[in-house]
């Protein structure tokens, strides 16, 4: 197994030369950071570039391994998350949590894919009762999400095929018991790419 630094060099060589992150930094910037041995910056930049440009599953696996070797657990989970999305697709939504005074959560949660709440996505059981589905939750652009806050999220459903009917504009609700603790409006439903 190659070391993390070799893996990062390999990823930089595999990305298209004109690939850039949303912030405007490019693969060439990553190569310059490699020369300066700014490894954590290199990893973050390669992840950001790969998030913008569709990349194969193997690239996410390589980035996850580099992050694991560098003991950057959140970055590793982020790469594993994107690998899961390549295999299974994803649902992106704008989530607003209810405040504690509205019956919502009393504290913030870490948005790094470890929370797996229940979601009402419009399904009904045979007896007519509402069905809820499980999906892990990744919060984009912030580390934690607290009561009354709003953020874009990515959902990794336990059974992705049961979520394929959703479309942008659909409203779904997040539950951690009864009643709902948040409401989300679907932004995008991406099919698997693997």
**42-64 residue pLDDT tens:** 999 999 999 988 888 999 999 99
Taking residues 20-40, report their average pLDDT.
90
Q: Are residues 71 and 157 in the same domain?
A: no
Determine the pLDDT at residue 139.
Answer: 95
Determine the pLDDT at residue 70.
Answer: 96
pTM equals: 0.83
Determine the pLDDT at residue 194.
Answer: 66
Q: Are residues 70 and 134 in the same domain?
A: no
Spatial separation of the C-alpha atoms in residues 79 and 16, rounded to whole Å: 19
53, 50, 54: which is closest to 63 by C-alpha?
A: 50
Q: Are residues 116 and 76 in the same domain?
A: no
Q: Provide the pLDDT confidence category of residue 127 given band limits of 50, 70 and 90.
A: confident
Taking residues 83-108, report their average pLDDT.
92
Determine the pLDDT at residue 100.
Answer: 87
Owning domain of residue 116: 89-190
For residues 91 and 188, the answer to whether their CB atoms sit within 8 Å is yes
Q: Are residues 117 and 79 in the same domain?
A: no
Q: Are residues 183 and 99 in the same domain?
A: yes
- Total of domains in the chain: 2
Q: Are residues 40 and 81 in the same domain?
A: yes
Spatial separation of the C-alpha atoms in residues 9 and 7, rounded to whole Å: 5
Residues 6+ apart with CB under 8 A from 21: 45, 48, 49, 51, 52
Q: Are residues 61 and 151 in the same domain?
A: no
Q: Are residues 116 and 64 in the same domain?
A: no
Q: Are residues 38 and 120 in the same domain?
A: no
Answer yes or no: is pLDDT of 80 > 80.
yes
**Angle between helix 57-69 and helix 4-14 axes, rounded to 10 deg:** 150
């Amino acid at each position: 197994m190659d070391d993390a630094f070799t893996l990062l060099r390999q990823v930089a060589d595999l990305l298209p030369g004109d690939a850039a992150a949303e912030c405007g930094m490019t693969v060439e910037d990553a190569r310059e950071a490699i020369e300066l041995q700014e490894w954590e910056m290199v990893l973050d930049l390669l992840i950001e570039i790969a998030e913008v440009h569709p990349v194969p599953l193997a690239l996410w696996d390589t980035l996850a391994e580099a992050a694991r070797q560098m003991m950057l657990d959140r970055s590793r989970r982020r790469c594993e998350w994107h690998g899961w999305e390549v295999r299974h697709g994803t649902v992106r939504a704008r989530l607003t949590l209810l405040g504690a005074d509205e019956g919502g959560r009393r504290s913030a949660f870490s948005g790094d894919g470890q929370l797996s709440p229940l979601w009402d996505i419009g399904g009904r059981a045979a007896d007519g009762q509402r069905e809820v589905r499980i999906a892990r939750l990744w919060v984009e652009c912030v580390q934690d999400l607290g009561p009354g806050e709003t953020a874009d999220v990515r959902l990794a459903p336990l059974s992705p095929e049961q979520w394929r009917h959703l479309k942008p504009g659909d409203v779904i609700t997040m539950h951690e018991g009864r009643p709902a603790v948040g409401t989300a409006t679907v932004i995008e439903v991406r099919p698997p790419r693997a």
